[in-house]
Structure 1
Amino acid sequence: MPDIYVRSTDGAAGDDGSTWALAKDKIPAAPQAGPSATYVSSAHSQTSAAAVSIAMAGTIANPSKLVCATDTAAPPAAVAATAVVATTGANSISVQGSGYVQGIVFNCGDGFNYANLVLNSANSGTANAQRYDNCEFNLNDTHPSSLLVLGSGNSGDNTRTTLANCRIKLTSINHSVSLGGQVRINGGSMPGTSTPTLGLFNFINGYKLTEVLIENFDFSALSNSAILFIASSPGAQREGIAVFRNCKLPAGWVGSLVSASFDSPNLRVEMYNCDSGATNYRSWVETWAGSVKSETVIVKTGGASDGTTPKALKMAANTNANEPLCHLLSPLLAGWIDTPGAAKTVSVDIIHDSATPLTDAEVWLEVEYLGSSASPQGSRASSKRATLLTAAANVAASAATWTTTGLSAPSKQKLSVTFTPQMKGEFLARVVLAKAGKTIYVDPVAQVA
């Protein structure tokens, strides 16, 4: 099929769209699949007092292409980012099917009206992928229930939604962005957004595992009390993992990664290297069993450091943590074995605020290593007690020196595992905390002896 041209300033519904001079006045309801494209003039602006539905006819293998561009040549010589698709009142915008969209500004609703901006969430039972480059998504109404929806949470759908260098605006403090399927947001910002009081993002209520990566994004226009993720919603069926990485936070941020404790053991939210200033080591992980955060006050002397700032991990288990089933896990700590065939001991230092030592039923170290010389199949060693019926033993004391500011009864202990690797290579260690309501500090260095 030939390329289609769209320009509201002089286009007409009756024109065939074959040239700029014969442009359509509105984006087609079903943009054709590739290799041809639908080119939308940088001067284009369409506003509807009815719902707008765009059902791209493309597939993942042969996607539709909806491209805002300059209109001085055909095909265009340069892309742009100023074409507008808008609705007024309680009228939603929906974009479905597989396709690529460049430079479109979507303005959804106005006034105190309920209108959703929905991308890639059709209940089609098929696989759909959408990518948006340099677009804007503006929820312009103030109704508390309006949503920006990216992807589908339905068990029969398989969706992948990508936003690259896009801008998002939420007008009401009750708005949020609902995520489903696989979602990638790389770059972009939220200018003019009213900071939602419950949280910015959440998983769509459904029965589909959601996987989200938000990186290189600018949240600095939000208030310093912003909550990034809505973790709890009564009666909802939500599961998945969301990762925030290399993002800019509001100045003086005192908000939270999540809104509350999780209502599902299948939720996990992680944040790495996100801050408002020149700090590049901050981390925060929230799980069903508790949280793991970067720590720069209670640290081991001569322990982990980025070369300037000493660092530790603060692991805070909540009331869900228990030995048999629900564990709070540290990030993986990597090390290297150069001499296989000889016994090695891997150790990690911890400290906590109690005169009572922790036992091997409450905290332990797990190490995955190459235990076979014939294949890379891994083996696991653990300092945990052998069974639930084995008498718990105190974890060994440690002679390490720590800064203990704020601890009234600091107790230093060392977690150790001995094993015999059979192949030269990497090992992975992690600290496991299983005592409900307990907080420990971990030096994230796997010592090898």
Structure 2
Amino acid sequence: MAAYYVRSGAAGAGTGADWANAYTTLAAALSGKAAGDVFYVSEDHAESQASTLTLTSPGTAANPCKILCVNHLGTVPPVSADLRTTATMTTTGNVSIIFAGSAYCRGLIFSAGNGAGTSNLHITSSDSMWVFEKSSLRIGSTGGGTVGMSTGITMMLRLIDTTVRFGNVAQGFSVFAGTIQWHNTANAIVAGGSIPTTMFKFTSSRSGSVELRGVDLSAVGVGKTIFDNAASNGPYACTMIDCKIDAAVTISGNPFAPSATFVDVWRVGASGVNYAQARYRYAGNLVQETTIVRTGGASDGTTPISWKITTTAGATWFEPFECPPIAIWNDTTGSAVTATIEGIWGGGAVPNDDEIWVEAEYLGDASSPMATFVNDSKANVLAAAAGQDAGSGTWGGSTTKFKLAVILTPQQKGWVLLRVKAAKVSSTFYVDPKVTLS
């Protein structure tokens, strides 16, 4: 591993050997180097060019290069106290910044373009991984453009405490054929730019994923959508966990096809609650409910909750909307156990067992962890449907109570996973995600 120095104001030999002889551009510093090399970029580095800026790291995913903004007046070689966040790399006109290879980059601000056309910040080479920490990725052009990836496959863009800014509402993130992870970022959208109409765009028929954890997207408000669901692309798996959003933002719509975008949301909201969640699928969606709830049912310790399931016209018995699993620990072995979930809806009569049912996954084999499945739906595709049993308890709304119950015989102690499935088209059900074992 070798170390090199980069400072736009250096006037020496340009060998990168020290600050006096530093490279004046990062692209030149990266050229001809080896995986794992370290590049120290001065805190007053201000690099700008009017042509495409391509940064090709010689690093690999297993041995990425490190690009670190540091105080050039500090310790040599730099130590933790010398880390800074002020170096800038800019292109002017309608010009992009391209990333290739694999690198960890800390404390740099990348600004692509300042014209009226299209500028991008893209990873473009297959099997590349760029990790940005305490950095900022910005598009200054006011036309098109995206932050993310294009052209290659199996690419990774990871943002840690890293902000973004866009120059037009048509911009946003591009998830081409890889993974975007964005973690631990307060005030994630830099003020002074435009808020994209759609934050994450899915732009190929390949697969990819987005994971947001601890990201403040509250600047993305009314009239905006976080995850694209309109384009005929995918499949893409999207997860938001422990994030802050505006109360008026649309997280996602229902995907256009069964194998398109999957969106799961946990503890995400605009106010100080810890129970907000949602799921978006082709066959329907799920959100938390705090009014039509069952007395004595599920709660976060203070607020009673239920799950509101709304199916689409695409729901079928073969491809129902499937709720997240409800886990409950079971200590019984060798004897039958009944797992029950209560629900309510406005259908006037209890729903049939091909309209909503529960499936249990449990340890039914004493000699292996091979799962056993049982459900209370109709027996097969040709079987006649029957009504579910009437439910019990007091609910805060709707009309017709029902219950979903399955009998299982565990052979080992362990978690039982229950998944409610709904197949009646264009219908609304409320279920209490508190399981009773008896």
Above 0.5 in TM-score?
yes
TM normalised by structure 1 equals: 0.92
Counterpart residue type for residue 117 of structure 1: L
Partners of 1:387 and 1:2 lie apart in 2 by: 65
Q: Percent identity?
A: 30
**2:183 corresponding residue in structure 1:** 186
Displacement of 1:442 in angstroms is 0.6
Partner of residue 19, structure 2: 20
Pick aligned residue for 1:217 from 181, 191, 215: 215
| 2:218 is equivalent to residue 243 of structure 1 | no
For 1:308 and 1:391, the matched residues in 2 are separated by 42
How many residue pairs were aligned?
A: 429
Q: Is the 8 A contact 2:353 2:377 kept in 1?
A: yes
CA distance in 2, matches of 1:310, 1:259: 26
Conserved 8 A contact 2:36-2:59 = no
Tell me the residue number matched to 1:162. Answer: 158
> Which of 86, 105, 116 is residue 82 of structure 1 equivalent to?
86
Give the 3-state SS of the residue equivalent to 1:202 in structure 2. strand
2-structure distance, mates of 1:362, 1:153: 43
Report what 2:332 is aligned to. 339
Report the counterpart of residue 300 of structure 2 in structure 1: 306
Q: Quick one: structure 1 residues 2 and 261, their matched pair in 2 at CA, closer, same or farther if it must change by over 3 Å? A: closer
DSSP-derived class of the 2:215 partner: coil
Instruction: Tell me the residue number matched to 1:97.
Output: 101
User: Are 1:118 and 2:122 an aligned pair?
Assistant: yes
Backbone CA RMSD of aligned residues = 1.7
CA distance in 2: counterparts of 1:141 and 1:95, whole angstroms: 18
The letter for the 2-side match of 1:306 is D
Q: Distance in 1 between matches of 2:383 and 2:24?
A: 76
TM-score (norm 2): 0.94
2:361 counterpart of 1:362: no
Determine whether 1:230 maps to 2:225: no
By how many angstroms is 1:264 displaced? 5.3
> Structure 1 regions of 5+ residues with no counterpart?
none
Cα shift at 1:383: 0.3
In the alignment, residue 195 of structure 2 is paired with which amino acid? T
**Cα distance, 1:264–1:137 mapped onto 2, change above 3 Å:** farther
Report the 3-state secondary structure (helix = DSSP H, G, I; strand = E; otherwise coil) of the residue aligned with 1:28.
helix
Shift of residue 221, structure 1, vs aligned partner? 2.6
Using the alignment, how far apart are the partners of 2:4 and 2:292 within structure 1? 63
Aligned residue among 369, 374, 380 for 1:381: 374
Question: Any idea what the Cα deviations from partners look like across 1:187-246, whole Å, max 9, x if unmatched?
Answer: 22112242222x111223132x2122111011123334431111111xx43212110111
Structure 1 equivalent of residue 417 of structure 2: 428
- Quick one: structure 1 residues 263 and 386, their matched pair in 2 at CA, closer, same or farther if it must change by over 3 Å? closer
Q: Specify the alignment match of 2:7 in structure 1.
A: 7
**Does the CA contact (< 8 Å) of 2:236 and 2:260 recur in 1?**
yes
Equivalent in the alignment of 2:322: 329
Q: Is the 8 A contact 2:254 2:285 kept in 1?
A: no
Please state how far the C-alpha of 1:328 moved relative to its aligned partner. Answer: 0.5
Amino acid aligned to 1:222? V
Deviation at 1:153, TM superposition (A): 7.3
Label 1:434 to 1:153 Cα distance change in 2 as closer, same or farther (>3 A): farther
Q: Deviations over 1:361-394 (max 9, x none)?
A: 1111100111111222110001010011111100
Unpaired runs of 5+ in structure 2? none
**d(CA) in 1 for partners of 2:201, 2:410:** 43
Letter in 2 for 1:108: A
Of 241, 257, 268, the residue aligned with 2:262 is: 268
Q: Structure 1 337/219 Cα, relative in aligned 2: closer, same or farther at 3 Å?
A: same
Offset of 1:333 from its aligned partner? 0.7
1-side partners of 2:36 and 2:406: how far apart? 58
Give the distance between the partners of 1:429 and 1:142, measured in 2 at CA. 49
Q: Which residue of 2 aligns with 1:287?
A: 281
Query: How much has 1:263 moved relative to structure 2?
Result: 4.4
Shift of 1:425: 1.6
